[in-house]
Amino acid sequence: MSDDGNVIAVAANGEEESAIFFYKQSTSKSGEDVPPDVIFYPSSEDIYWELNGLSMDGNGYAAAAIAGSYIFALTSDGDFLWKYYASGSEFSEYFTTVTVSSNGRYAVAGSVMPLSVYCFTLYIPPYGRDRWEAIKRVHDTEDEIIDALNDLDELGMSLEELSDFISEGGYTYPFTEDGDIANVLNGLYEAYMYLRSKIITSDIPPIPVGSELYNELVSEYGLLLEDYPTVSGRIQLLYAILFGS
Amino acid sequence: MGGTYGSNARLYYYANSLSREGWQEDLNGSWVFYSMDLRGLDISANGEYFALGLSSGEGSDSFVLFFSEGELMWSSMLEGY
């Protein structure tokens, strides 16, 4: 389990095949028969031994597992990282225990016969070294489209009015009607499309004006979602409200 | 803490462990999972969440259970494992 409890890794052996299951956003799930989010089959990497141990780092990014003479590592997205086969000169070594450091840097595995301890680098965390670079990239990308939000804020129209303008006129992108409104709508549409190619990985369902979710959003974040904490998130929500349907 | 006794898995939940002293019998929760083996147990860093893995005595299915402060939030069946 990750430190925050959100990611759970489970190793399980079936009669025919072993698998590692990952559950994500565990603290937000509820109910019965919750399906795993990711399934990894060691056989996909030619590892056919029964799984005998599993450990995950505190961030929930990666895990190390042992299976017979193999130790291998994978991310919680199911991406295989590496494997190691412990072949002693006289014995086949069987790993009996594995533990991953909380920061994900190291995996330590031990075998009893012969008594051995191995230490591996689980992963070199891009999350530490490149974190600021990634944040800067997002920040720079969002800077490219911030004018679209500023123009919306300055227009002085509510989302309901803009939505009515679109639906009553039957307008679609590109908007060529009223100058200021068209500029704002074009700006928001293009901002979303830009982010869709850079940061946003998938569309969210439409959020019609007047729907329960819409009312909750404007109640929480303001009539133009101006208090929403991220630029990309605000643009995505505005797109779902104005253009989603 | 938990274990398998006989053919049943048992789980005992103690909250506020750091402020306890001496022999403690006042559990904050306990569960018996009949005809189950306890295969794994882990707890989040702040102790708010814990999860356990159970396998049916017949060994044909396994289950993952997730708890928040001692309340079951969700479960998952791994059919055939």
Beta strands at B2-5 and B8-13: parallel, antiparallel or unpaired: antiparallel
For A18, the closest chain B residue by CA position comes to B81
Q: Which residues of B touch A33 (CB under 8 A)?
A: 75-77
Report the gap between the CA of B4 and the closest CA in chain A (Å): 18
Range name among A53-67, A117-131, A132-146, B28-42 with the lowest pLDDT average: A117-131
Task: Convert A3-36 to b/e letters by CB count within 10 Å (16 or more is b).
Answer: ebbbbbbbbbbbeeebbbbbbbebbebeeeebeb
A116/A112 Cα distance (integer angstroms): 7
Is B44 touching A (CB cutoff 8 A)?
Answer: yes
| pLDDT at residue B73 tops 80 | yes
Q: Which residues of B touch A34 (CB under 8 A)?
A: 64, 74-76
Is B41 touching A (CB cutoff 8 A)?
Answer: no
Radius of gyration of chain A (CA): 25
A183/A201 Cα distance (integer angstroms): 25
Q: Which residue has the higher pLDDT, A201 or A131?
A: A201
What is the ipTM for the molecules in this complex?
0.87
Answer for the pair A81, A73: CB distance below 8 angstroms, yes or no: yes
| pLDDT at residue A115 tops 90 | no
Report the gap between the CA of B51 and the closest CA in chain A (Å): 8
| pLDDT at residue A31 tops 80 | yes
| pLDDT at residue B31 tops 90 | no
The answer to whether B45 contacts A36, with C-beta atoms less than 8 Å apart, is: no
Residue-level pLDDT at A125? 58
| pLDDT at residue A129 tops 60 | no
Residue-level pLDDT at A123? 82
The answer to whether B74 contacts A35, with C-beta atoms less than 8 Å apart, is: no
Residue type, B78: L
Composition of chain B by helix, strand, coil, percent to 5: 5, 60, 35
Distance set, CA A28 to CA A57, A158, B49 (Å): 20, 32, 11
pLDDT digits (tens, 9 = 90+) for A196-213: 888 888 889 999 999 999
Q: Contacts by A233-237 with C-beta closer than 8 Å and gap 24+?
A: A234/A149, A235/A145, A235/A148, A235/A149, A235/A188, A235/A191, A235/A192, A235/A195, A236/A192, A236/A195, A236/A200, A236/A204, A237/A204, A237/A207
Token pair for A211 = 């729907």
Q: Which residue has the higher pLDDT, A215 or B20?
A: A215
Report the gap between the CA of A72 and the closest CA in chain B (Å): 20
Is B81 touching A (CB cutoff 8 A)?
Answer: yes
Bridge partner list, A13: A18
The model carries a pTM of 0.62
Cβ-proximal residues to A224 (8 Å cutoff; 6+ apart), any chain: A152, A153, A158, A159, A238
Give the residue among B47, B72, B76, B80 at the shortest CA–CA distance from B64. Answer: B76
Of the spans A34-38, A82-86, A179-183, which averages the highest pLDDT? A34-38
DSSP A101-112: -TTSSEEEEEET
The answer to whether B66 contacts A26, with C-beta atoms less than 8 Å apart, is: yes
The answer to whether A32 contacts B75, with C-beta atoms less than 8 Å apart, is: yes
Report the gap between the CA of B45 and the closest CA in chain A (Å): 5
DSSP A148-187: HHHHHHHH---HHHHHHHHHHHT--SSP-SSHHHHHHHHH
Residue-level pLDDT at A75? 92
| Tokens 């005998």, located at residue | A52
The answer to whether A8 contacts B43, with C-beta atoms less than 8 Å apart, is: no
Q: Which residues of A touch B (CB under 8 A)?
A: 1-5, 8, 10, 12-15, 19, 21, 23, 26-27, 29-36, 58
Closest by Cβ to B77, choosing from A1, A5, A33: A33
Identify the H or E element spanning A214.
Answer: helix A212-221
Question: What's the residue count for chain B?
Answer: 81
Q: Which residues of A touch B38 (CB under 8 A)?
A: none
